[in-house]
Structure 1
C-alpha cells in the first residue's frame, strides 16, 4: 500500500461523505428513531438501555446509539453530528477495501475497487444515512478479511481479530453480525474441504473472545430487563423479521436484483452487458482461484441469505458490496481510462447534489419545518397531535414536543398498541383518541393535505391553518367554541346529535343550539 493512495482516499471520503452534512435534516421513518433515542438517553443519563418517548426501546443494540451520543457530546445536537460517524465509517470502509484488494491482487486493483465502491449510489447514500448499516458493513467486512488473512497465513492473531470484529457487529445490529460472516466462512471451508479448521484451538478461543465482547451489553440488559428484552429484541426484531414480512410489497423475487442495479450505479450499467454476453456465450464458469472463490461465495451467501428472509430492505444486502467492488475493480483494470473519467463525473454529480437536490429532497421526509412551526405556536399547556399520517418522530426530535398519534376510538388504539411477536411492537409513540378530545383545550394538529379534509367531520372542531411545510400542514383548534361535554362519535348515544354538534363546532349554528 502507498501512503499517497491512503491520503487520496481519505480526502475523497471526507469530501464525499462529510461535506454538506450540516444541511441534511433527519428524515422519517428511520433516521429520526435513532437520533431521538440517543437524545433521550442523554437526557436520562442512561447510556445502557435505549429508550424513546420515555419507553425502553429494544429495536437495535447499543453501539450505534453510543456513536450518536459521542457525536452529540462533541459537536452538539446537530445534523452534522448525527451524520458524523456514518461518514467516518464510510471512509474507513474505503481504506479497508483498498487494503484487501491490494493484498489479493495489486495496488491498482485496490485503488480502483475503493473508488468504485465509494462512488456507487448505495455506498454514497449509506455514508450519509443515520442508520446502523455502515457500521455493520465495516465490522462484517473486517471479520471476513481477518478470517481470510488467518486462513492464508495461519497466524492466530487474525482469527481473534475476526471474532472480535464479529462481536462488535453483534453489538451494532444483533445476531446477524455473527450469522452472516459465519455462513460465508462455513461455505468457503466446505468448498475448500477444510471444515475441520472450525475445531482449531484458535477458532475456539476466538469464539470465547466473541462471547466476552457481546456480553458487555447483552448480559446487563438481560439482568435489567429480563424477558421483555429477549421477547422484543430477539423475538420481534430478529425472529419475526426473518419469518414474517414487515413490508409485503417488497417481498418479490426480483427485489434484490433491482437493489443491485440501483445500488451499484453507474457501475452496474457497465458490467451487466459483459455479464450477459458471457452468459450467452457460455463463458461463465465456477471460480478456481482461491481468492475469487472467497469473494464470489461472500457475495452469493449474502444475496441468497437475505433473499430467503421474509422481510426485505434495500440495505440488507449491503455487505456484498466489498467483494463485488473488488471483482469489478479487477475487471475495470482493462478499461482504466474509461473508469477514471466515469469516477470523476459521478463524484462531481454527488457534490452538486449535496448542495442542491439532496437538502430539499430530505426536507420532504422530515418534520424539521413543522417542528419550527409547533415551537412557535405552542404554549406549555398546548396539546399536540398528529392525524392520518405516518408518525413523524423527527418532529419530536427537533421540537422537544411529543405529539400524540390521534385515532378515532380507544378500541382503535388498542389494536395498534405493542403486542408480543407482532409488528405493532414498534408502535410505542403516545396515542390519543378523538372520542376523548377536550374541545376547550388549546390543540395543534399536524396532518397532510389529504387528511385535512376530514377535520370538522371525522375530527370534530373548528380548525384554522397556522402553517405548513412541504406535505405537512398544522392546524389550531379555534378558541371561540365553548362546549363542555364529551365528544361522541357518529353512531354513539349522545344527547346532542352529531350533525348539530358538528355545525356548532364550525361556528355556524351557535345561536340556534343555545336556543334549543
Structure 2
C-alpha cells in the first residue's frame, strides 16, 4: 500500500513539474492570453475592481472572477510572463486531481489512475492547461459542480449539493450563465436517459440557492449600478444572442470533431486496442448509470457547442474530464496492444516528425535553418522514440507509461521552438520593449488599423486605436464624443495629431507600411511582422 502511494506521489510530482515548467518562457500571445492579463493590469492601475477594463474602456465580455485571480497573481509575482499563467496551471492540476478522486469514487482506483494520466497528457488539455485562458478555469468549475451534483444523487450527502451550488456560482463569475445552466442541463438529461427523472428534483436546494445568490448577486448589483446598459449587454447580447447569432468565430457544425479526436492524442492512436478491450470487458467496473452520466456530460458539451453559431476551440474543454474517465477505464482493461495501433502510432509520430522538420520550409520562420534545426533536435529525437516504443516494449502497460513520460517531455521541449517562432507574429513583446526604451513623457502611443492587447501590457500604457475598434466597441460607446475621437479616431481625424508637435509612436503591421495613410513617417524599428513608425525621428 505504501509503495503504491509513493508511486502516485511520484506521478503527481512529475505532472506538476511538467505543467509549471517553462510557463514563463513564452510571451503572452494575442489576442486571448494578452487580453486576460492586460485587463487585470488595468484594473489594478485604475483601482476599479468591479468593472473590467480593456485599453481603459469598459469591457463586459466576461464576469470578473478570473481577472480577480490574475490580479492576485500579478500582485504576488509581479508583471511578468509567469503570473498570468499561474492560476490556469494551478486550476488544471486541481482538475486532474478532481477527476482522479471522482473516477476512484464511482469506478475504481485503476481507472482513476489511467484517466488522470490520459487527461494530464492529452494534447488539448496540456496546451490549454498552461495558457492564460478563462476556459480552463470555467471548465473546472462546470466539472466540479456537475460531479458534485451527481455524487449527491448517488450518496445523498448534503455537502455535495452545497458544493454543486458553490461551483455553479464560481462558474457564473468566471464565464456567466453557462456555469449554472450546464450542470443542471447535464444532470437533467442524465435523469432522463438513466430513467431516474424524479431524482433530478432533489437537486433543488433552498440553502444551495441562497449560497448561489449570495456569491453572484453582489457583483451583478454593483455592475448594474456602474454601467447603465449592463443587463442588456451582459445577459441578453453576450449570453443568448452570442449563441444564436453568428457574431464571430463562425465555423461549420463538425468543427469540434477533429478537436476532440486530435485533442486526445496520443491516446486516441490506440483505438483498435480500446475496441478489443471493450469487446472483452464491456467497460468493466463501470455501472450503467455512471457510464450514462459520463457520456451524457461529454455529449452535451459537444452537441451544444457544435450547434452554437459561435465556436472557439477552447469552448469544449469540459468534455475532456468525463471522456478521459471513459478512456481510462478502457486502457485499464487493455492486455495487449493491437498490431494496427502500433503502425498507426508509428505513422502519426512520423508525420509529426516530418512536420517539425519541414515546418520551416512551408512557413516563413523568420530565422535561419541552422537555428531552427538546433531548436527542434531534442523534440525530434523524442518523437522518434515515441514512434517506435510499441515495437520495442512488449508489455502494454509499460508501453503506455513510457508514452506518457515521453509525450510530457516532448510537450515541454516543443515549447522552445514554438516560442522562437510565435514571438514574431503572435505577440508584440519585442517591439513593445523597444518602445519602452525610446518612450519619453508626453509621447503618444497608437496602433494603426489593428489592436494587439500585448502591446498595451508590455508598454503598460493606453494606446490610440486608429481606424480600429474591434472588441472595444461597447467600451467606446460609453465614452463621450470627444473621448471617442481622441482614443478611436478615423484616419482623417488622426491626421491633425500626426501633424502636430507631439511625437506619436505607432504599432503597425510591417506589410502595411507601404499603404500608410500619411506621406511622412520614420521607421524606428522594422521586424518581420510588426514594426514601429513615428511622425518624428528618434533624435527629434
Q: Please say whether Structure 1 and Structure 2 have the same fold, judged by a TM-score greater than 0.5.
A: yes
TM superposition shift of 1:271: 2.6
Q: Tell me, yes or no, if the aligned pair for 2:30 and 2:452 is still in contact at 8 Å.
A: yes
Shift of 1:105: 2.2
Q: Aligned in 2, Cα 1:272/1:309: closer, same or farther, shift over 3 Å?
A: farther
Deviations 1:324-347, CA, capped at 9 Å, x for gaps: 101111111114233212111101
**Do residues 464 (structure 1) and 465 (structure 2) align?**
no
* Residue in 2 that maps onto 1:240: 241
Sort the Cα spacing of 1:429 and 1:394 in 2 relative to 1 into closer, same or farther, 3 A.
Answer: farther
Question: How far did 1:78 drift?
Answer: 1.2
CA contact (8 A) 1:245 1:312 kept: no
| Structure 1 gap ranges (5+) | 422-426, 483-516
Distance 1:59 1:198, change over 3 A: same
Give the TM-score normalised by structure 2.
Answer: 0.79
RMSD of aligned Cα (Å): 3.1
2:104·2:111 contact (CA, 8 Å) conserved in 1?
Answer: yes
- 2:512 aligns to what? 451
> Are the equivalent residues in 1 in contact too, given 2:448–2:507 (CA < 8 A)?
yes
With over 3 angstroms needed to count, the CA separation of the structure-2 counterparts of 1:174 and 1:473, relative to structure 1, is same
In structure 1, C-alpha distance between the alignment counterparts of 2:486 and 2:142, rounded to whole Å? 32
Distance in 1 between the 2:278 and 2:106 partners? 24
- Cα distance change on mapping 1:228 and 1:384 into 2, 3 Å: same
| Higher helix residue share | 2
Asked if the contact 1:25/1:363 (under 8 Å) is kept, the reply is no
Alignment partner, residue 62 of structure 1: 64
Q: How far apart in 2 are the matches of 1:54 and 1:36? A: 10
Structure 1 residues 245-280: Cα deviation after superposition (integer angstroms, max 9, x where no partner): 2335x420220001112222222232378569999x
Spell out, residue by residue over 1:456-511, the C-alpha distance to the aligned partner (whole angstroms, 9 max, x if none).
Answer: xxx1222222113441011122569x9xxxxxxxxxxxxxxxxxxxxxxxxxxxxx
Give 2:104's aligned residue: 102
* TM-aligned CA deviation for residue 114 of structure 1: 0.7
User: What TM-score, normalized to structure 1?
Assistant: 0.82
Report what 1:509 is aligned to: none
Offset, 1:80: 0.6
CA displacement 1:207-261 (0-9 Å, x = unmatched): 3322222223223222333x4211222133212210122335x420220001112
CA distance 1:59–1:314, shift in 2 (3 Å): same
Name whichever of 181-190 and 101-110 sits farther off.
101-110
**Do 1:386 and 1:406's aligned partners in 2 also have CA atoms closer than 8 Å?**
yes
Equivalent position SS for 1:357 = helix
- SS of residue in 2 equivalent to 1:315: helix
Tell me, which stretches of 5 or more residues in structure 2 are unaligned? 335-395, 478-483
Change (3 A) 1:274 1:91: closer
Q: Does residue 409 of structure 2 align to residue 342 of structure 1?
A: no
The SS at the match of 1:21 is coil
Structure 1's 37 and 193: CA in aligned 2 closer, same or farther, altered over 3 A? Answer: same
**1:28 and 1:394 in contact (8 A); partners too:** yes
1:429 positional shift: 11
Q: Where do residues 369-408 of structure 1 align in structure 2 (5 Å cutoff)?
A: 369-388=430-449, 390-407=450-467
- Structure 1 stretch 431-440 or stretch 52-61: which is displaced more? 431-440
- Partner in structure 2 of residue 474 of structure 1: 532
Structure having the higher Rg: 1
Contact 1:13-1:94 at 8 Å conserved across structures: no
* Aligned partner of residue 20 in structure 1, secondary structure: coil
Which residues in structure 2 correspond to 1:311-322 (within 5 Å)?
Answer: 311-322=310-321
Deviation at 1:382, TM superposition (A): 2.4
CA separation of 1:223 and 1:400: change in aligned 2, threshold 3 A: same
Cα distance in structure 2, aligned partners of 1:208 and 1:429: 46
Give the alignment of 1:14-413 within 5 angstroms. 14-200=16-202, 203-225=205-227, 227-247=228-248, 250-271=250-271, 289-333=288-332, 334=334, 335-358=396-419, 360-388=421-449, 390-407=450-467
Q: Is the 8 A contact 1:236 1:420 kept in 2?
A: no
